[in-house]
């Protein structure tokens, strides 16, 4: 019975990587490089440029950046590319969800107690300000798709110092920025391999 109450022990992240939610991330805030160099640097670490396929991943990493002084306020390369018609994640080849461009995460030490919403321009508004608006003009993340701004073909996680949020931005790939690498949690894979080895012993 006691064994059923034990929490799952995850495999540790590689050296210099930080566990954020289900994955491990390496956040380079020391050296600015172009997208190609950043991509190669991640591969050298057996990782890839970060890709946020779920809104929860997007929220977790942005919250982490906003709450870490050594990372906050910097722009980072992500794994998104735009070959011409559609933004895709370069490692998984899945489309980038542009709705994440509306995501804003307040810093955990913010002292505001008002309930906030996000308008179509990405502005965070309190309940009092919302009441002054015409409800018919309000749009939500659920029914609104936002195009990723910028003419570049490489995806940058861009910090807005005025609103204290991060947005996706299409940047020229030759520009120099910091970068975030990602490696998936291998805990489940390692468990499967272990079980497979144990089963072979009984054959």
Residues 47-90 pLDDT 10s: 999 999 888 888 899 999 999 999 999 999 999 999 988 999 99
High-pLDDT (> 70) share of the chain, %: 62
For residue 4, being part of any structural domain is answered with no
Domain coverage including residue 38: 16-201
For residue 123, being part of any structural domain is answered with yes
For residue 1, being part of any structural domain is answered with no
Q: Which residues of 25-51 are buried (b: 16+ CB within 10 A; e: fewer)?
A: bbbbbeebbbbeebbebbeebebbbbb
For residue 3, being part of any structural domain is answered with no
Q: Is 125 a residue whose pLDDT tops 90?
A: no
The residue whose two tokens read 């440029």 is 49
For residue 9, being part of any structural domain is answered with no
Under 8 Å CB-to-CB from 29, ≥6 apart: which residues?
A: 70, 71, 74, 178
CB atoms within 10 A of CB 23: 20
Q: Is 160 a residue whose pLDDT tops 70?
A: yes
What phi and psi values does residue 202 have, to the nearest 5 degrees? -95, 0
For residue 66, being part of any structural domain is answered with yes
pLDDT band at 11 (very low <50, low <70, confident <90, very high): confident
For residue 6, being part of any structural domain is answered with no
Cα separation, 39 vs 55, whole angstroms:
22
What phi and psi values does residue 137 have, to the nearest 5 degrees? -95, -10
Cα separation, 141 vs 200, whole angstroms:
50
Q: Compute the radius of gyration of the chain from its Cα atoms.
A: 20
pLDDT band at 9 (very low <50, low <70, confident <90, very high): low
Mean pLDDT across the chain: 75
Cα separation, 131 vs 17, whole angstroms:
44
Cα separation, 53 vs 40, whole angstroms:
21
- The pTM of this model reads 0.69
- Give the start-end residues of each E strand in 43-200: 48-49, 76-81, 88-89, 116-118, 124-126, 154-160, 165-171, 177-183
For residue 2, being part of any structural domain is answered with no
CB atoms within 10 A of CB 115: 10
Number of domains the chain is built from? 1
Q: Where are the alpha helices (DSSP H) in the chain?
A: 35-44, 55-66, 127-131, 187-201
Q: Which one has a higher pLDDT value, 124 or 23?
A: 23
**CATH number of residue 137's parent domain:** 3.10.100.10
Cα separation, 98 vs 103, whole angstroms:
10
């Amino acid at each position: 019975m006691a064994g059923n109450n034990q929490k799952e022990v995850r495999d540790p992240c590689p050296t210099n990587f930080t566990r954020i939610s289900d994955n491990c991330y390496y956040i380079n805030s020391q050296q600015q490089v172009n997208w190609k160099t950043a991509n190669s640097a991640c591969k050298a670490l057996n990782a890839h440029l970060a890709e946020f396929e779920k809104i929860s991943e997007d929220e977790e990493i942005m919250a982490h950046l906003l709450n870490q002084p050594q990372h906050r306020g910097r722009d980072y390369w992500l794994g998104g590319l735009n070959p011409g018609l559609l933004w895709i994640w370069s490692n998984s080849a899945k489309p980038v969800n542009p709705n994440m461009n509306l995501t804003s995460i307040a810093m955990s030490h913010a002292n505001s107690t008002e309930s906030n919403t996000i308008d179509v321009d990405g502005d965070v508004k309190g309940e009092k300000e919302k009441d002054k608006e015409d409800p018919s003009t309000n749009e939500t993340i659920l029914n609104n798709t936002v195009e990723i701004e910028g003419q570049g073909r490489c995806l940058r996680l861009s910090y807005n110092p005025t609103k204290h949020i991060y947005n996706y931005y299409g940047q020229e790939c030759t520009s120099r920025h910091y970068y975030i690498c990602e490696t998936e949690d291998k805990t489940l894979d390692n468990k499967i391999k272990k079980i497979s080895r144990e089963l072979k012993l009984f054959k």
